């Protein structure tokens, strides 16, 4: 099977169900665990936005013009507290209305330890799975991406906003009661959160004290003892026994491969 790959599609089940888009097909990648797979880069990258060939990939599969011009590649995607839609300077206002001026959630997740994060409501639980979280708990529902970013900025003074991807791929994180962490960090951030409610309105920022903690299991036979990152820019062919999948990583006996990083790469997949 051959074609351009994109980030794996996921479904919350026990364990998580993964499908790898390659060309026009979807490969049920869970079925390949325990088998020898060979992924060979064909020397061609197509932009995930416009489809044009590009010598170099930017922002997980974009050509440089799309990286430069698309709102989805703007810095405010990485730093939502800098969202400038209301200032009238969004690169693509229609895109902003569809993606940023929509309900977002502030959440806690446990992947390599507890972290705070944000996501659109339509990306739950996909966002948690993509991060390799074993547990997740929504704590605020807000009206816009900007508001979620402002709350995250405050909460991360009291809890990390980072995932240690190497630690995440080596083992399951130690189970936590995320509601206890939620109550602590929300109490520690109460002054700023109340100020934001006054600024945007009570309805815009809703605390979710009754939200249920979500438990996530991944299809993994063996965790690697050491993490070796595989990279198509350095080696055209990746081959090994697939031992599991977590986040957007394939775990092979020869290393780990971040599929999302190589979105748009033309790859041939062989299974034996």
For 69-96, the pLDDT digits (tens) are 999 999 999 999 999 998 999 999 999 9
pLDDT band of residue 193 (cuts 50, 70, 90) is very high
Average pLDDT over every residue of 118-122: 97
Instruction: Give the per-residue pLDDT at 116.
Output: 98
Average pLDDT over every residue of 253-270: 97
Q: Are strands 214-215 and 2-4 parallel, antiparallel or unpaired?
A: unpaired
pLDDT band of residue 144 (cuts 50, 70, 90) is very high
pLDDT band of residue 249 (cuts 50, 70, 90) is very high
pTM of the model: 0.95
Average pLDDT over every residue of 160-180: 95
Instruction: Give the per-residue pLDDT at 267.
Output: 98
Instruction: Give the per-residue pLDDT at 194.
Output: 97
Instruction: Give the per-residue pLDDT at 248.
Output: 98
């Amino acid at each position: 099977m051959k074609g351009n790959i994109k980030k794996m599609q996921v479904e919350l089940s026990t364990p998580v169900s993964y499908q790898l888009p390659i060309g026009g097909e979807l490969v049920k990648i869970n079925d390949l665990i325990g088998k020898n797979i060979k992924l060979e880069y064909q020397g061609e990258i197509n932009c995930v936005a416009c489809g044009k060939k590009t010598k170099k990939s930017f922002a997980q599969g974009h050509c440089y013009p799309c990286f430069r011009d698309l709102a989805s590649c703007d810095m405010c995607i990485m730093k939502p507290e800098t969202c400038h839609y209301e200032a009238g300077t969004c690169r693509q206002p229609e895109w902003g209305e569809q993606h940023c001026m929509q309900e977002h959630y502030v959440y806690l997740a446990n992947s390599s330890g507890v972290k705070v994060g944000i996501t659109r409501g339509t990306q739950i639980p996909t966002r948690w799975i993509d991060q390799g979280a074993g547990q997740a708990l929504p704590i605020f529902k807000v009206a816009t991406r900007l508001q979620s970013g402002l709350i995250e900025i405050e909460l991360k003074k009291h809890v990390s906003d980072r995932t240690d991807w190497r630690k995440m791929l080596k083992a399951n994180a130690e189970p936590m009661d995320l509601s206890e962490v939620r109550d602590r960090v929300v109490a520690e951030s109460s002054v700023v959160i109340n100020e934001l409610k006054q600024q945007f309105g009570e309805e815009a920022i809703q605390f979710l004290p009754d939200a249920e903690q979500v438990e996530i299991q991944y299809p993994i036979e063996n965790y690697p003892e050491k993490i070796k990152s595989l990279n198509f820019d350095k080696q055209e062919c990746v081959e090994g026994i697939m031992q599991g999948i977590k986040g957007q990583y394939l775990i092979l006996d020869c290393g780990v491969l971040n599929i999302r990083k190589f979105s748009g790469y033309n790859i041939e997949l062989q299974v034996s």
